[in-house]
Structures are given as structure tokens and as C-alpha cells.
Structure 1
Amino acid sequence: MKKNNRVAACVLVLASFCQLASAAVSVQEAERLKNELTPLGAERAGNGADIPPWRGGLTVPALSYQEAGQHHPNPYPQDKPLFVISSANKDRYKEHLTDGQIALFETYPDTFQMPIYKTRRTAAAPEWVYDNTYKNAIRSELNKNGAGLRYAYGGIPFPIAKNGLEAIWNHITRWRGTFFSRRSSEVAVHQDGSFSLVTVQQDVLFNFYNPKATIDDLNNILFYYLSFTKAPARLAGGAVLVHETIDQVEEARQAWGYNAGQRRVRRAPNLAYDTPIAAADGLRYADDTDMYNGAPDRYNWKLLGKKEIFIPYNNYDLSSNNLTYKEILKPGHLNPDFTRYEKHRVWVVEANLKEGARHVYKKRRFFIDEDTWGIAVADQYDSAGELWRVSMAYLKNYYEMPVTWTTLDVFHDIKARRYHVQGLDNEERGTVDFSIEVPGEQYFTPSALRRRGKR
């Protein structure tokens, strides 16, 4: 009898493991990506009212876009707000707002607004990304306890997501180009609107989307990240190098820091989870970056379904080089004169801290754009379960690729009434440049970091 019980228990454990690991869909179901769904898994159809059908997205640059790396001219300069949501009328639209957005209206009743524009489903990606996404649909799996992927490469791993963990992996591995270089600034904005810039030069190679690689060549590396601080003078010359692993439980993220004064490269082993980011003045933690990144093992993930939400989209005016940082950054929030929101369908994913796990956020709710799998809004709750922070990614289509990605990431602390912004490049000579030749892995080694630091 005891033997039979042990066998039954083993069968149950094996069954639960297989249920987690066997995430690939059938060929018949994957065929939906060619008709009913977009190639990345969104609904092709509109809602019959204010969300249009997807017809391929924006794949042609604006006529005034002349060279790679220049700031992006707005392809829709004629668009005007359909209406503006304010604290006075927010209740009329609350079914299409997140709790965090509502909290921003309540925290800044006289100034925070959301201009709502015509929804344009501009999201697009190259055909080879679509092709890989189809292949991933019928082969990708979560491994072990869901902390990593198997058999996924070069596309969305789970375009027909069945649970919250698959959806968050789609965000973590979404299409963001292969390699880019960018000089931009981040700021912590104080209650009175004052701020001091930290300017960095960033080079990023998304190994997961490296056309020169294969599944077998990934070596558990999602991307390589290299950042050199350019200003202020007291920080200039410092650098950070990251090797982002796919399965961070099996092999932790590898990070190194370069100290310009000491001319030394040192390991930075704790750059993960809720480690505070120095340049953010306490307003951003390590896994807040990119709305969410890193190992998902400290949370239980639940897919709550889809909603129609007003999210930042097609924010070309906000990224214009005709604006100054002082015009954009106002007390409490970005200047609403330059922001753009549209109604889109989003996947709602909730993360609840596992029993015994440690993190400053007890609960997080993510609103993931169905067309791109990028998190557009994140509501974060403190250890008492109270809403604490709200983060928003101000998306736009980098039509020269094409790829839909953020132009600014904004992290609000509604209790401290301060916020942090990443990605400011309005006053720089250019913006993200995807045209540079893809460097080899040797470009992203600690020894290369040391050599570059000496120059």
C-alpha cells in the first residue's frame, strides 16, 4: 500500500512537471498565427469601435527620416487628441484605467492628464522574427520551475500564452532589435521639479535575436549590456557590463563594474531583484528596469485575462529633439502636452510574492500590450498590499527596424511624490542607432571593459 502511494505521488509530481514544461502548442493551434491572430499572437480583429484591426503595422519610415540614428519624425503630425482624461472626468473612464493611473490623477489632481488619441496599431517586426515565433510556438518550453526556456530562439517563445509565466517570458524575450547604441540620460525628479542628469552611452547586443546564432549557440545568454557614464563629471568614466542569462536560477546574471578612479574592474554580484539602482535615487530597483526583467522565481504568476486599457503609444512628440528636458519634466509627472495615450488590448498579469521569498513589492500587476508583448504599465504594491508605485513605458515604433519599444520609461513613487525617468535623448545629437555593425561577444568581456575604460 505504501509502495502504491509512493508511485501515485511520483506520477502526480511528474504530471505537474510535464504540465509546466510542455508549453508548446499543436501545429493546428499555431496556424492561428497566420489568420485569426497576428504573427506575434495578438487578435487581428478590432473591437468594432475604437480599436482597429491589425493590418501589418508601421513598416515604412516617415518621409523626413533621412538617416539612421536621427530623432524620429512623427508619422502622424495631423493627429489631435480625441479627448483628455483629467481628475474631473476620470470616473467616466475608470474601466479603461489601471489602479496606478487612477492614483496619479488623485495624487496630482490639478496637473496630471492623459490625452487620448486615435488608436493606431503600428506594432511590427521583421518577417524572420515572425517565422521564428511560429517555430517557437510549437517547440518552446519552460524548464524546471519556469525559471528559464528551452528550444526558443529569435522570436516570441509563447505567442499563444496559456499562463502568466509564459506571458512574462514573452515580455522578457520580446523583439527589441539585434544591436543598438545610444547616448541618453536618466533623472530623478524631485517634488519641486528639480533634477540632475546622469548621462550614459549604452551598447546592447540581444543574443537571443542574433541572426548569426542558433538555439545551440545561445549559451544561456539573453543579451549583453555595456554602459559608460559620461556625465556628471564626478561619475564620468564609470561603467557597467552585464551578461544577462536566460535561466538566472541555473546561472545568475553576471555583472561587472569599472571604477574610473581606480581603473579596476570588479564583479557586481548583487545586481538583481530589489537591489536599488544608485542613479535612480531610490526610485527604481534592479528588476524594475524595462518594466520587469530577470529571474521570475520569487513570484507566483497569474494570467488574469485581457482588458482594453489606455496605454502610452506612438509617443513621437515626447521624443522630439525640438523639446528640452525642462519642457518635458514637470513636478510630479511628465508634461501631458507631449504625451500620447491610445486604447489597446492588454494582457493583465499579476505577480504575487511567494511565501518565504523576499522582495519590496508584495504584488505587481502588469499590463502587457497584446501586439508586442511589452509591458506598458506596471502597478506595484508594498508589503502591506497598498499601491505604492506605478511605472509606464512610453512606446513608439522605431520604423527603420521595425520594432515597437519604449522611448521613455517613467517610474512614479506616489507616496514620495517623486519620479524617475530613463531614456531622455531630446538634447542629444541623435537617438537609438540600430544600423551599427553587430560586434562579436569579445566586445562585451571584462577585459574589453578595462581596455575601453583606459582610453
Structure 2
Amino acid sequence: MRMQLCVLALACTVGLAQAKGTDSAALGKTLTPMGSEMAANADGSIPAWTGGLASNAGTVDSKGGYSDPYAAEKPLFTVTAQNLTQYQKFLSPGQIALFKRFPDTYKMNIYPSHRSANLPKEVLAVSRENVAKTSMADGGNGLHDYARGIPFPLPTEGLEVMWNHMTRYRGGSYERISSAALVRENGATSYVRNQSLINFADTVGGLEPGSNILFMFKSRVLEPARLSGEAVLVHEPIDQVAEPRSAWQYLPGQRRVRRAPMIAYDNSARYSNGLITADNIDGYNGAPDRFDWKLVGKQELFIPYNSYKIGSRDLKYDAVIKPNHVNQDLARYEKHRVWVVEATLKPGARHIYAKRRFYVDEDSWQIAQSDQYDSRGELWRSGELHAIQQYDHGFTYNVLETSYDLISGRYYAGGLANEETEPMRVGFAAKTDDYTPSDLRRWAK
């Protein structure tokens, strides 16, 4: 174990040195246009980036289901509790804990690695411009001179990596219907189905120039019937310390819109029964001011990637959702380089997590894996984001997001759309009037 830690520390030091010594001229040469390393790793198990998946890499059916460009591939090998020690240097502590918690059923099928991520040319162009102009404001709690794209393609600080995740391009706007599953220790499962819309600031007409808005978001429950019509509206600031997140809630029984309770930090995410916090949705979101952030460096890790199989619209939810963990026969893992960012709770600050580690894919800037620790320093929860490259739209997006409670054996699985018959809608414009409390009441009905 000591040898593994030394190797990781050396790799991290080299990675940071490379980042600090580069400028925008490296983008598109030694670095990809997104800021990741262009070259393959030493043994070739992580290939060189050659442009990502083309827009015609597959087909998208009428339900929004993506064909799998890698469907014919077989696993290179399978990691199990029995051979865990052979591969644990490529696993996070949370992943290792899942093997130990469920030694008879948990496994990871490791496939050939494909660096499928890419972004539209216009997003990459503005990302290059951000190198010279965008900076963190207010101790890292916000951004100066940022409108869109990757704010920090050449990060040297942990918060810069996290801002890359939180602002990453997702088509500018999207509308989708999905479900979240709450799986109890005995395997009993309940679902909540909802419809969500999000518009990032550059797709919203009517915003004041220089507005502090990052995006506007609204969501309503479709099922079960007892929750149907409940809705929430969020105005997400870029700097949530200068201007806290604004949120409103509509409850059909009251027939009125009220200011929502605080939807931030460690408040329980809606309908998750406490299994994920508000700032744990999408891996991490929101104000970062309660933590000290450290950029540990880079690591080669087995992470969910090119998850077309587990996100297939030909599956039923009960094929994906199983007791203890999702169906690992459907999950695809590949070795990729990730940025490792550690967040430690500040003295005097309050949060149920005292420490967190995030593993951010270098190509897509999306969190792929996260580990959460309690106030005693014990590993408590581990999460994964299973994503695909939406090749027709040119961005990476989750088809499944999990949070495993390693103590209780319960877990949460969000973003499920396997049984949906309508495709995700991407790239539409909105007005500020579409995201007002009065609009929320009308829309929720």
C-alpha cells in the first residue's frame, strides 16, 4: 500500500507541474482542446485522444435511445473481491469498500478504454479564450469574466477543477423525464418520476448584462400520484456566497408557491430519504465555501464510461436496479485519467461530510466517482456517475447516478430513463418569464 501511495504522489506531482507550466498554446497540441493530456498513458491502456466520437458514431431512435458504438466489445477482465488486491491501485476507497461490503455479488467488468468525449468547436473556442480572462472570485466562490465553455482548461487549483465540472457544457439547455430509485436494505424499491428543464444563462433572454446567474432550473413530479404536481424552481447564481441560491416550491395541496427551504449544502435532496445531499446531485453542485479544496493531482482509475448498455431504452428498470447495487453485468468500466480533488470541512463550518474526494474525468470534466467521509473520518458513502457521449449533441451526460450508503446497504439511483419513450430535448432558448414563481404554479399543474 505504501508503494501505491508513493506512485500516486509522484504521478500527482508530475501532473501538477505540467499544468502549472503550460499555457493556451498547448491546447490542441500536447493537450486536447478540453485541457486533458493528448497522449496515451505509458502502457497504452489509456489511448491517445484522437477527437472523440463523431456526430455520426451511432443512431438515436425515436425514444432518445443511443446505439452503442462499442456493443461488440467484450470485457478485458473482471475485478472481483477475490482478485481485488491485483487491481486496487486503480480503484477509489469507495469502490474498494463496495467489493468488501458485497463480496459475493459486486464486480466490475473492465472494457477497452475509449476517449469518446468531445465538445462543439464553438465551445472549445471560447474555452481557449477563458484561459487568459476567467478567474475565480471571492476566494473561489464565484467566477470573474465567465459566460460559457470550460472556465479553466489548465487548472492548477482544486476549485478550478470543480468549477469545470459545475459549468461543463450540456447543450446550453435540456429538458428530460427521468426517474429516481430508492433501494432499501431488503431490496424493496420505490420510484419518483419527474420532468426537469434547465437553461444556462447564455440561452436565457431577458437577463441583465453581467447577471450573476449560472442557470435556471425547474422540475415537477409526475409519479407517484401522491406527489404528482409538486414542483421546484431554482435560480442558480455563479457566486452563491454573494447571492445565495434562490428556490421556490409549489405544493398542490396548498395551491400556492412558497419560498423553498434551503436547497443547498447538506440538506437532504428531495425524495432521496437522506441518501444524497442537495450539493451531491450531479456529483457536486452549489456553493463551495464550507470546504477547503485541495488539488491532489491525477490518477489512473477504473470509472464508469461509455455506459450505453446500462442506459439502454430497451431495458426495464428492474433489469438495472437490484438489491445492494445496480446490475453490474450492465455496467461498463474503463481505465481513464482523473483529476483527484479533496474537500475538507472548514473549522466551524457545518456539513454531514467532514471530507470528500472527487474523481473528475480529464476529458469531459465530469465527476465520475466520489467518496464521502463522516465526522469521525470513516468512509460513509460512495457515488458513481455512469455517462455516455451524446454524439449527436456533442457533450457527455449521465444516464445513471448512484449513491451507496456503505453502512446501511441502502442506495439511491437517479437519472433513470430506460423506460421513457420521449427523447431528451436539447439546445432551446428560454426567457426569464419561463422561470418565475408565477410560471412555476402554471407549469406544475
Determine if the TM-score, normalized by the shorter chain, exceeds 0.5: yes
Q: Using structure 1 for the length normalisation, give the TM-score.
A: 0.90
Equivalent pair of 1:82/1:118 in contact (CA under 8 Å): yes
Equivalent pair of 1:257/1:268 in contact (CA under 8 Å): yes
Is residue 441 from structure 1 mapped to residue 395 from structure 2 by the alignment? no
AA at the equivalent of 1:100? G
Is residue 193 from structure 1 mapped to residue 187 from structure 2 by the alignment? yes
Instruction: Describe the shift of the 1:93–1:47 C-alpha distance in structure 2 as closer, same or farther (beyond 3 A).
Output: same
Return the offset for 1:430.
2.8
Structure 2: distance between partners of 1:419 and 1:26: 39
Corresponding residue to 1:210 among 178, 203, 207: 203
Deviation track 1:110-150 (CA, whole Å, cap 9, x = no partner) reads: 00111000000000110011001001011111112111000
Corresponding residue to 1:45 among 35, 39, 44: 39
Return the offset for 1:63.
4.2
Equivalent pair of 1:425/1:431 in contact (CA under 8 Å): no
Equivalent pair of 2:22/2:154 in contact (CA under 8 Å): no
Instruction: Describe the shift of the 1:218–1:229 C-alpha distance in structure 2 as closer, same or farther (beyond 3 A).
Output: farther
Q: Indicate the SS of the match to 2:215.
A: strand
Return the offset for 1:62.
4.2
Structure 1: distance between partners of 2:268 and 2:140: 25
Equivalent pair of 1:393/1:409 in contact (CA under 8 Å): yes
Equivalent pair of 2:194/2:222 in contact (CA under 8 Å): yes
Question: 2:68 — aligned with what?
Answer: 74
Equivalent pair of 2:46/2:335 in contact (CA under 8 Å): yes
Q: How does 1:99-110 map to 2 (within 5 A)?
A: 99-110=93-104
Q: How does 1:250-269 map to 2 (within 5 A)?
A: 250-269=242-261
AA at the equivalent of 2:403? F
Q: Indicate the SS of the match to 2:140.
A: coil
Question: 1:3 — aligned with what?
Answer: none
Structure 1: distance between partners of 2:204 and 2:310: 32
Equivalent pair of 1:254/1:269 in contact (CA under 8 Å): no
Instruction: Flag the structure with larger Rg.
Output: 1
Deviation track 1:253-300 (CA, whole Å, cap 9, x = no partner) reads: 000000112210001141110001231011011001011110110011
Instruction: Describe the shift of the 1:26–1:53 C-alpha distance in structure 2 as closer, same or farther (beyond 3 A).
Output: closer
Structure 1: distance between partners of 2:21 and 2:274: 47
Question: 1:11 — aligned with what?
Answer: none
Question: 1:20 — aligned with what?
Answer: none
Return the offset for 1:106.
0.2
Is residue 364 from structure 1 mapped to residue 359 from structure 2 by the alignment? no
- Identity, in percent, stands at 45
Is residue 149 from structure 1 mapped to residue 143 from structure 2 by the alignment? yes
Range 144-153 or range 343-352, more displaced? 144-153
Q: Indicate the SS of the match to 1:170.
A: helix
Return the offset for 1:175.
1.2
Equivalent pair of 1:26/1:138 in contact (CA under 8 Å): no
Question: 1:428 — aligned with what?
Answer: 420
Structure 2: distance between partners of 1:117 and 1:26: 32
Question: 1:272 — aligned with what?
Answer: 264
Structure 1: distance between partners of 2:290 and 2:276: 18
Q: Which runs of 5+ in 1 are unaligned?
A: 1-24
Structure 1: distance between partners of 2:241 and 2:297: 28
Structure 1: distance between partners of 2:52 and 2:313: 24
AA at the equivalent of 1:50? S
Deviation track 1:75-123 (CA, whole Å, cap 9, x = no partner) reads: 1111111111111111100110000000000000000111000000000
Corresponding residue to 2:383 among 385, 391, 397: 391
Question: 1:405 — aligned with what?
Answer: 397
Q: Using structure 2 for the length normalisation, give the TM-score.
A: 0.92
Structure 1: distance between partners of 2:246 and 2:283: 20
AA at the equivalent of 1:61? N
AA at the equivalent of 2:100? E
Is residue 31 from structure 1 mapped to residue 1 from structure 2 by the alignment? no
AA at the equivalent of 2:203? N
Instruction: Describe the shift of the 1:252–1:277 C-alpha distance in structure 2 as closer, same or farther (beyond 3 A).
Output: same
Return the offset for 1:431.
3.9
